[in-house]
Structure 1
Amino acid sequence: MKSTTILTILVMGLMFCIAQVIEATSMGTAWTYQGRLLDVNDTADGEYDFEFKLYDDPNANFPLAEVNIPNVDVINGYFTVNLDFGSGIFDGNSCWLEIFVRPGELSDPNDYKSLSPRREVTPTPYALYAAKAGTDADWIVLQQNMHASVSGNVGIGVMIPGYKLDVGGDIKGTTGRFGTDQLAFGANLQVANKINIMDDSTDNPNLFIGDNNMQFLQLRWDSTGDHAQLYTPAPYNIALMPGGNVGIGTTTPEAGFDVANPSGGPAMTVGRRTGYPSIRARSDAAGGWLIIDSNGAGNVGLNHYDDGHVILVNGGGRVGIGTTGPDAKLSIQMQTGTQLMPAVTPGLVIKDGQFNSAKQVDVQDSTGESRFVINGAGKVGIATDSPQSELDVAGKTRTQVLEITERVGIGTDNPQLELDVVGRTRTKVLEITGGGDLAEPFNVSGQQSGKPGMVVCIDPENPGNLVVSKKTYDRTVAGIISGAGGVKPGMLMGQVGTRADGEHPVAMTGRVYCRADASNGAIRPGDLLTTSQTPGHAMKVTDYDRANGAILGKAMTGLEAGQKGLVLVLVALQ
């Protein structure tokens, strides 16, 4: 039976590296590895599974590549395998090989044993030869560089080159750099980075596009810096300057985009086709903007030759219509006796003092009657053109939903709650959905402050106040502080400024969560509850004679014996 302990391995490796040479045939990327395997101080014999892992460092944790070869036939300790780690592994840097082996009849990956130390992979004489194969008198190989010292031209894809490098096809490269000699291409030129076209002269342009009589595009260098200039038979039409400015009709642009005004016409004309927008700003993403901006206090104006400024947006973010000095976010100035109104009614009318004693905004119906008015005194009228108060509604109001985000006061201009009514209210049905009990506000005396769910009793030393309960069967029990367990008071009664007011809402009736102590027995739904010796906690009644007058209500949920927790109580003081 084979042992799973592999003690050592004697290795002789042969590596055949690939060298791409002229008039040579590629041998592939596989190489032969031979070794001898000893198993417990004896030669191994039979089938074994091997793993070969290649590292770029003798102590690295992660391999560059690995090869798994199962069921290798080991005879008298000797084995031979072909290893192929691919073409991108052996790039001239050192590599180390680590071998893992296990007997062939085992299948657990943990059964593999590493054979150490790792072996450095070294080239064979054949591989050393391959690095120099194929050299001739013209082409010289120096380390990773190769160059040719030829006096004539070099052709690629052409039989008789007419230039230093004559390519009969496409050229594609990550970078490109060309000297002062001419370069001819039979098709396209594709360069992923840049093309440097140099000229030793500082007066002549470096690149012409055109013919001998006319240069349509000129890239040049001169004493002012690198820039591009576009020519037609007329003087310069387009100039790209060193600072990034672009000029149209000028060779000295003073801004990022400078359009010079030719004589007898506007600098720029937009829009020539009827039915199409003259200027369009579009964004494929939501929230696109068309922004006209200025770093200073500049203005944007739409101006008519005769009437002055029609629309002006100044640097402060104000818009003026008919004025050059808007004093508000939107300022509309009209001549005396004019109106701003739509062409048809009903519509919006903005009047000045010529038409009324106070300037106003008037929304009219189809007959010209005012339906909504804001006058100069700040009063709003609905269905009336002469409001007598801040909001004057002539007629009835009806709404299904009235959404008010602030407080509403009836009979008071300083509401303290969402709805604050000073006076009497009357309704047939009052439906309360925000709480489960009827509570009254009380102050809690004593050293122990009141908390939601606590049982409280009458404080004989402070009339009108309550204290936290602390003894069993206390006939001064007054109720339970509301708010525990997420159940809030549904109705709160009290009178501000009197003893019938306080900080804590105490449930007089209804459903409320109460703190309970089941030390004297488990609490079941329906049990009568009374005070306990645990401060602020209730317990179930076991002595009905003592409980007379000390009952605070019935349990609606249970609590296991010996536990403390919240119990839902139907409050009914007895």
Structure 2
Amino acid sequence: MKNITTVFLVLFISFTSFAQNGINYKAVVKDNSGNVIANDLIVVEFTIHSTSAVGPTVYQESHTPNTDDNGLIIINIGEGNPLSGVFNDIDWAGNLHFLNVQINTGDGLQDMGTTEFKAVPYALSAPDTSKWEDNGNGIHRLNGNVGIGTANPARKLHVISDDQTITTYFQNNYAGSGSKYGIYNYTTSDGTGTRYGLYNNMSSNDATSSTYGIYNTLSTTGASGNMYGVYSYISANGTGNHYALYGYASGPGNYGIYAYNNDEQGYAAYFNGRTQISDRLMIGTDSHGRTGLNVNQKDLYVRNADTTTVRTRYSGAGTGGETEYYMNSGFRTLELQASETANTGSQIQMYKSDGSLGISLDADFLGLGRVITQEIEVTGADLAEFYAVSNASQAKPGMILCLDPNKPGEMMVSNQPYDKKVAGIISGANGIRPAILMGGEMTSDESTLSQENRYATSDGKHPLALTGKVYVYADASNGSIEVGDLLTSSTTPGYAMKVTEYSRAQGAIVGKAMSSLPSGQGFVLVLVNLQ
């Protein structure tokens, strides 16, 4: 075990320049026998107390120096690994301060004692008044802040101008081959709060002329290299938000970022890479404060190199806008129109690769919707038409409907065998969906629909399968049903049965069985074919 003592040779302030703002500490480290501890890695921990030797800790840091051949260590207090507090925030002039030293040579920290700082360290709080404070010229230094035009600077550099049109002016006359900056700002990634490379806060409540947070002009005459009015670059990984350029505006007529260019070959703003707009991007002027992407009386183009792939016109053929989509070859293949003509509704035109019309969807052709194409393929199973059902409480998908003799134009659930009034089967049973629905409008409130009546209309009509394949409720008590059997109505309301009396079945056949039912009741897949 190495018990140690320290012999303090020198303790003084090193303040040879403004950048070196610390306390130079020198000591020789010996063990309890007076032997120098040479060429050894040790730990030194400094704690600065305010008011008294046991007063509040205002700063603490640690160092890991190596002793030299003579056991000497030289350390600059204020440049170690901070454990608590900020060295530059110590109010040297406001209170007495005391330094506690602890050293660890391998057996843990040992307290070397606490001593009071004398006059020399307090030079840290004494500014060079001949250089930094000149009330006649409006230059001040207060608590480490420099003020120009203000005696109470709130930042490291605080400039106020009450009688000049330009508050700060920077001129760079460098003529070398290296990069040249009027203002260069570097912000580290340390800390957890929001970080700004350049932050501007502008108040113009009483301004009657243009007011700019940042205004930059470039003269590019004769220039062959890239020139930037504002250039911002971010290269960092992290979980927070990082902005190369961030603009915020509150109130009508205000712009977070405003760019102007009067030459069609130039760029008011140029972004190479992804650009994210969290609220709205204004192009033109919108007096209604609409959110999203607002383009006022301007066409919008999306390009692949020099080829337009999407074009949105603010005023199309009718009374609204239209959007056109193009292949990379420049060939138009899709056109969306808000209005085909001045007095009609929307239209969608889809073109083939040879330029001919493939599909036309017209929402308002003589007051009716119209589809024009050469071939239609649907994934459903039957063609159905909506009809009112007089005994609707009994009706459900898969039941046979017959013409209601007492209510012309309406249907009823079948209730007798070999009924020549059979008209079809209610579509939608057992997971088979109709392909085409005619003559009705399904309810828009899907929450009121169940699996059994999901195709019912708002006025209670049901889709009657006129052709195609559907499932039908069937009863095998009149004989087992095999594939290929003809089906007709039965004594069970809404149920089909196998035809066994062909003389009675003429005009009462609803279709042909495509699956079997050996006994009892259940679903049978049927090809609807009235005979």
Q: What TM-score bracket applies, with the shorter chain setting the length?
A: 0.3 to 0.5
Structure label with greater radius of gyration? 1
Tell me the TM-score normalized by structure 1: 0.42
- Greater RCO (Cα-Cα under 8 Å, separation 6 or more): 2
